[in-house]
Amino acid sequence: MRVREKKVMVIGLDCADPELVFTRFLDKLPHLKRLIQSGASARLRSTDPPITVPAWASMVTGKDPGQLGCYGFRNRFDYGYNSVGIVDSSVITEPTIWDVLGEHGFQSLVMGVPPTYPVKPIEGNMISCCLTPDASSPYTYPSALKHEIERKIGTYLFDVDNFRTAKYDELLTSIYEMTRLRFQTARYLLQAKEWDFFMMVEMGIDRIHHAFWHLMDSKHVLHEPSQYRDAILQYYQYVDQQIGELIASVPGNPMIMVVSDHGAKRMDGGFCINEWLRKEGYLTLKKEPTQLGPLDLSEVDWRRTKAWGYGGYYGRIHLNVKGREPHGLVDASRYERTRNQLIKKLRSLKDDHGARFPVTVFKPDKKYETTNNIPPDLIAYFGDLYWRSIGLVGGNQIFTHENDVGPDGANHDYEGIFISSWKNNSQRVDGGLLLHGLQIADIAPTVLNEFGISPLAGMVGKVIRTQES
C-alpha cells in the first residue's frame, strides 16, 4: 500500500454543540479534551439556515447555500405548488473536497457525509449518508464495497428509524448500535483501504439531542424528572471513546479535525407560520379547517393567496407571484414591497403574552453570493431559534408547544464545533489555541491547503490558520 506522509482525518458529529463540548461536558470527554488542549478549537458558525444538508454541503465545498442551490432538507424544484422534495446528492454540483483531491491524485475515504446519496464516483471509497433509504440500496462506491462491508461488519445502519418518539429505550439501543457500526466500519476501512483524506459523519448526537434534550435541560418547558436525564452526556462519552479508538487505530501523525454542522438548544415551542399568514390576510383557504392539521395545498385558494410557508427548524415563506406561480397573485412590481411588508410585520411580532417575540428574517438573494435553483422568498428564525416553524393550519393558534412532526425537545443553533490537532500532539498540552470568527465554509479550503492546493474560485470560506500551520 502506498503511504503518503500527509493525511487528514475529519470526524463529523452532526449537531455537536459547543456549549456542551467546550464547557459542560469537557472534563468527561478525555479524547476531545486532549485534542482541544493540544491544538486549536472554536465555535464554527453554520450556514443560514443551520440545517444538516446545506451545512455539510457547504463544509465540503466552501460554498454557501445559495451557490449550492440547497436551502434545507427539502428544496422547491419548480414554481408549481407541490414541487417540494428531499434534497439528495444530485442537487450538489459544486466540487467537493474529495473531488478536488482526486484531481490532484489523492485518495479519499468518505462515510456518511450528507448529502452523498446516491453515491457518485470518487478517487477512493465512499459510503453514502443518512438519506440512504436502507441497506438494500446501492450505497457504496465502488459497488463491491457494499458486499465487503456486509461480509466484514454486517448490516450497515445509516440512521435510526424514528428519533421523534417517547420509546426511549428502543431509541437508545438503535442510536448506540448505529454508532458502534459506523466507527467499527471506519476502523476497518482505515486499515484496509488506501487513503490520504478521511471524512465521516456520525448522526447520533443530532438524534439524541432531539429526543432527550427536554429531559436534560431544567429550563425546558417540557422538562420533568427522568432516569434519562444524563442520556445525552453518556452518549457524548461513548462517542468520545469511539473517537479515541479511531484515532489510535491509524498509523503516523495525521491532522485531526472534529467538526459539527450546527449546534442545538432547547425548543420552547412552535410558531404557526401558515395560521399567522392566514390571520394577516396573505393566505386564504377554500374553506375553514375544522381542526388543526397539515396545510393541504389543494385546499388553498391560490387566486386570493399572496404567501404560504413551511414547517421546520426555521421558517420558509414563498410568495405567489404573477407570471411565476401557476395562479400568481402578487404583481412582480409589488414583489419587493410585499417582502418588505412581511419582514416588517414579522419583526414586530408579540407573543401570546404580549411580550416582544424576536424574529430574524432575511432575503436569500441578499444573504448569499448568488441563488441557484429556487430559494424561498424569505427565511425566518423564530424566537432566536428557540421556536420552530409549524406548518399546520386550523385552531386559530399562532403559538404552540406541540410539534407538527412528533416529539422533539431541541432546535438547531447557529454554531457548531471546530477542533483541530495532530494525532501525536499529546505531549504538548498547553491549553490549546482558541480561535474566533470561523465559518463552516472555511473547512474545505483549510483541508485543501493542507494538501498544498489553493482554494477554488468562488469559495466563500477562508483557510483557517491554526497554531501549528
Residue of 102, 127, 124 lying closest to 113 (CA atoms): 127
- The answer to whether the beta carbons of residues 73 and 53 sit under 8 Å apart is yes
pLDDT of residue 164: 82
Q: Break the chain down into helix, strand, coil percent, rounded to 5.
A: 35, 20, 45
pLDDT of residue 469: 47
Residue of 95, 101, 137, 99 lying closest to 118 (CA atoms): 137
Query: Before 376, cis peptide (omega within 30)?
Result: no
pLDDT of residue 427: 54
- What residues pair up with 360 in beta bridges, in sequence order? 381
Query: Before 30, cis peptide (omega within 30)?
Result: no
β-strand 269-272 against 307-310: which pairing, if any? unpaired
pLDDT of residue 404: 64
- Own/partner pairs, 341-344, CB within 8 angstroms, 24+ separation: 342/282, 342/307, 342/317, 342/378, 343/378
- The answer to whether the beta carbons of residues 12 and 417 sit under 8 Å apart is no
- The answer to whether the beta carbons of residues 50 and 43 sit under 8 Å apart is no
- Own/partner pairs, 292-296, CB within 8 angstroms, 24+ separation: 292/392, 292/393, 292/394, 292/395, 292/397, 293/392, 293/393, 293/394, 294/391, 294/392, 294/393, 294/404, 295/391, 295/392, 295/393
Give the separation between CA 333 and CA 348, rounded to whole angstroms: 25
Answer positive or negative: Cα dihedral of 218, 223, 229, 231: negative
pLDDT of residue 413: 97
pLDDT tens for the chain, residues 1 to 469 = 455 678 999 999 999 999 999 999 999 999 999 999 999 999 999 999 999 999 999 999 999 999 999 999 999 999 999 889 999 999 999 999 999 999 999 999 999 999 999 999 999 999 999 999 999 999 999 999 999 999 999 999 999 988 888 889 999 999 999 999 999 999 999 999 999 999 999 999 999 999 999 999 999 988 999 999 999 999 999 999 999 999 999 999 999 999 999 999 999 999 999 999 999 999 999 999 888 888 999 999 999 999 999 989 999 999 999 999 999 999 999 999 999 999 999 999 999 889 999 999 999 999 999 999 999 999 999 999 999 999 989 888 899 877 666 678 899 999 999 999 999 876 555 678 999 999 999 999 999 999 999 999 999 999 998 865 4
pLDDT of residue 332: 97
